[in-house]
Structures are given as structure tokens and as C-alpha cells.
Amino acid sequence: MLKEKNILITGGNSGIGFFATINLLKTKNNLYIPIRSSSRKDQFFLKLQKYFDKNYIEKYLNLIENIDLSNLENVQIIGDYFIQKNIFLDIVILNAGLQYTGSFYPKVSKQGIELTFAVNHLAHFYLVNILIGRINNKKDSRIIITSSDVHDPKSSGGNVGEKAGLNNLRNFKEEITGKYLNFSADKAYKNSKLCNILFAKELAKRLQIQASKIAVITWAPGLVIPNDDLGFFRYSKKFNIMGYLIFSNIAKNILGISENVENAGKLLSEIVFESDFNTNDYLHLSNKLVFYKKHQLLKSDVSEEANKSELALKLWNLSEELCRSFGFVSLNI
């Protein structure tokens, strides 16, 4: 009999993460999901009970409650949860993400970090550093990060509007901690997805040096437009609801370029178990549009900037510096 796996997924209560959760629960593995509030917990359970009975959910699903991922204090609580319960993980899925394209003004975390960078990158950077000693060092263990092909200015989504570009991190610390000149929420999101890949590549390199068997995988789900109000576009909808509705209708029904959220969630759950991905090399997967309304998950290249190892190291060092500056020093990689 195969041993049950312990799986942590951030952003598991909505969008892609919700449908990944559905598929992962079907496998009868132990699932751990941080969730932000009691109201979201209640909504989550109501949605899950369409698929599973209450006893089944309670057996395999474990919620880490009152977690705002933008707050590093709450990220520390997640780490403490696994340490105190002496739980070792097999899979860590860093899936939570947000964007608020359409806003002219930045949102900030409790630590004063621009919110897109705080949630999409820094929270996950710190979480992996806390948990790395709690991830089983086995060939089928893996860290999976949901990124996006918009990190690449040459991609079909990345070349629309503001383009990703970290400018070798010149003035970047100032840009994410209060000097919001010429702020662009669109660029902030694309840069956060570039940071995901740079972080993953540097993480994979460090784990290889330690002879670790843990695989590091980034993946791009394609343009996914969730149906619920807790999903990825929840902030953007508020700023321009008509623009969002027109955009989503064109993308889904006319151009046929969007992926449905159920399929994207299923893909994420498949990445968890696919034996072909048992590698200690870094791997990037992209859910490519191959035909009208048809996608295929393929091993893919990342952008030229994402391939800069010196930039990946600089981002890692900056991320450490930011965590330490707020008193968060459990940096173990």
C-alpha cells in the first residue's frame, strides 16, 4: 500500500487552486490549505460539499486558519503549524496569487511591501525557507510554483500593455517599499511572475548543491478566467467590471484563447503526481494554446531575463534582506 502524501497548497480555496483541491482530495492524500478568514472557510466548505460528504472532507482536509499571505507574521504561523504538529510534507504547491490591474494606486502589505510582490513572491520565498527542513528528501517530492508566461515580454500575453522587466533590480527595493513613481499594477504582476521563476531557478540550484532530491517546478496555466468572485481577477473586476466582462467574453467565446478553470486545476493536480517530473533539475511547464480552445501542457523555455543566474541570486539576496529587516530570520536554504 502506498503511503499517503502530505500536500500543502496555497490559494487552494478558489480559482485554479479550488479545482486542484478537488482532484487532490479524490486521491485520499492529506491536504493542508491556509485560508484567510472564517467567512472564506465557510464558503469553501459549502463548495466542497457539492463533491464530497462532510466526513470525507474532515478526514483528508486540514485548514490553517486566519492566514493573510501578504503578512509575513502569518507565513510564520504556517511554518509553526507543521513544526508543532511534527508533520513532514511531500509536496508544496505555491499557487496563491493576485493582481489588481486597473488600479492607479498600489496596495501594500502589513510590512509595507507592494501587495503583488508581497503575496506572489515574498510570502512564498519565506514559506519555503521556513519549511525546507520539513519537506521529505525523496525523488517524488516537489515544490511547484504557479507562474505565468506573461513573465516573458515575447509571449502573447506578456507583450500586451506594460512588459515585465526588473532592470537588474536597480531601484527595485525602493519601488516595492514606498517609492511608487509611475506605478503600474500590470507591470507589478508580470514582474512578480518573473520573480517566481528567478526564485525557483535559484532554489533548484541551491538544492542541487545540497544533493537534494526535491524537484522544483514552475508552470504557466495560460489565461484562466475563474467564475467566482474569490478568484484571481477579484480585484480587477472592481476597477473595471464592464471591461472585465467584455475581455472575458472575447477571450473565452470569440478568440478561444482562455483555458477553463476546471482544466487548469486538473493540470496542477497532475503535475503533483506525474513521475516524468521526478528530477532534481529545474523544470518549467507551460499550458500552451495549440488550437482554438485547446491547450497542451509542454516543457517550455523561460524568458531571457528569467535565465539570468546573477539576477536570480540578487533577487534571492534582496528577498532575504527584506525578511530580515522585518525580524523574520528563519532562512534555512
User: For residue range 9-28, what is the model confidence (pLDDT) as tens digits?
Assistant: 999 999 999 999 999 999 99
Q: Which carries the bigger pLDDT value, residue 237 or residue 151? A: 151
Q: How far is CA 159 from CA 163, 190, 287, 302, in A?
A: 6, 10, 17, 14
3-state per-residue secondary structure call for the chain: CCCCCEEEECCCCCHHHHHHHHHHHHCCCEEEEECCCHHHHHHHHHHHCCCCCHHHHHHHEEEECCCCCCCHHHHHHHHHHHHHCCCCECEEEECCCCCCCCCCCCCECCCCCEHHHHHHHHHHHHHHHHHHHHECCCCCCEEEEECCHHHCCCCCCCCCCCCCCCHHHCCHHHHHCCCCCCCCHHHHHHHHHHHHHHHHHHHHHHHHHCCCCCEEEEEECCCECCCCCCCCCHHHHHHCHHHHHHHHHHHHHHCCCCECHHHHHHHHHHHHHCHHHCCCCEEEEEEEEEECCEEEEEECCCCCHHHCHHHHHHHHHHHHHHHHHCCCCCCCC
Q: Which domains does the chain have, with CATH numbers?
A: 6-325 (3.40.50.720)
Using a pLDDT cut of 90, give the percent of the chain over it. Answer: 73
Q: Would you state the pLDDT for residue 276? A: 85
Task: Express each pLDDT in 69-92 by its tens digit.
Answer: 999 999 999 999 999 999 999 999
* pLDDT class of 272 with cuts at 50, 70, 90: very high
Q: Write the pLDDT tens digit of every residue in 33-56.
A: 999 999 999 999 999 999 999 999
Kindly state the average pLDDT of the residues 150-165. Answer: 89
pLDDT band per the 50, 70, 90 thresholds, residue 249: very low
Q: What is the pLDDT of residue 254?
A: 42
pLDDT at 159: 86
The arithmetic mean of pLDDT across residues 309-323, rounded, is 98
Residue 63 pLDDT greater than 50, yes or no: yes
